[in-house]
Amino acid sequence: MRILPVLSSAALAVTLLAGCSDEPAPETDKPTRIRTSSSAPSTATSAHSESPGSSPSVTEPEPADPDGPLLEIVVKGSSVQPNAQEMEAETGQIIYVSVESDRSGQLHVHAKPEQFLEFGKGVAEIELVIDTPGSVQIEEHETGSVVARVDVR
């Protein structure tokens, strides 16, 4: 039980030190962003603020309210829900995907280009962007279950 606070403190220290770097963040062409929460220590970037005479405080960023389509997936072993949920999205629009799972896995997005979205045990919040119009299937890779069919316009 004593190891969790030590790991949490170490993760926090690494996060704060990384935020103090003068180096710009690396650019990426990946269209997905993944935010997860589970029993493992968090590695999310934290905001750091200080005011004169006060001790430093660390706050977790609040998730943005989704303004695009939302796909909520629940994985329990080989049971995956929903089953072929019909959705619509605009090209370039963020599709918010929430995965609650009792195991790690992968979503396969049959778009051009194809995308593979990893998720772990616990809750993962994924922002998915599809840039090519058409009918796109999203499947849970291990079971082959189609969780959604997205009409991208």
- pTM beyond 0.75: the answer is no
Among positive and negative, which fits the CA dihedral 53, 59, 61, 65?
negative
**Structure confidence at residue 28 (pLDDT):** 37
Comparing 66 with 32, the larger pLDDT belongs to 66
Among positive and negative, which fits the CA dihedral 113, 118, 123, 124?
negative
Mean per-residue pLDDT, 73-100: 97
Tell me the percentage of the chain whose pLDDT exceeds 70. Answer: 57
Rg of the chain's alpha carbons, rounded to an integer?
18
Q: Strand ranges (DSSP E) for 5-140?
A: 33-37, 47-49, 57-59, 70-76, 79-81, 85-89, 94-101, 105-110, 115-119, 122-129, 134-140
pLDDT classification of 76: cutoffs 50, 70, 90 = very high
Tell me the percentage of the chain whose pLDDT exceeds 90. Answer: 56
Say if residues 116 and 106 touch (Cβ distance below 8 Å): yes
Highest mean pLDDT among 6-15, 55-64, 80-89: 80-89
Measured torsion, CA atoms of residues 50, 51, 53, 59, in degrees rounded to the nearest 10 = -40
CA distances, 9 to each of 4, 20, 29, 41, 47 (Å): 9, 17, 32, 9, 15
Query: Could you read off the pLDDT of 93-150 as tens digits, one per residue?
Result: 999 999 999 999 999 999 999 999 999 999 999 999 999 999 999 999 999 999 999 9
Structural domains for the chain: 70-152 (2.60.40.420)
Q: Phi/psi at 103 (nearest 5 deg)? A: -155, 165
Comparing 138 with 38, the larger pLDDT belongs to 138
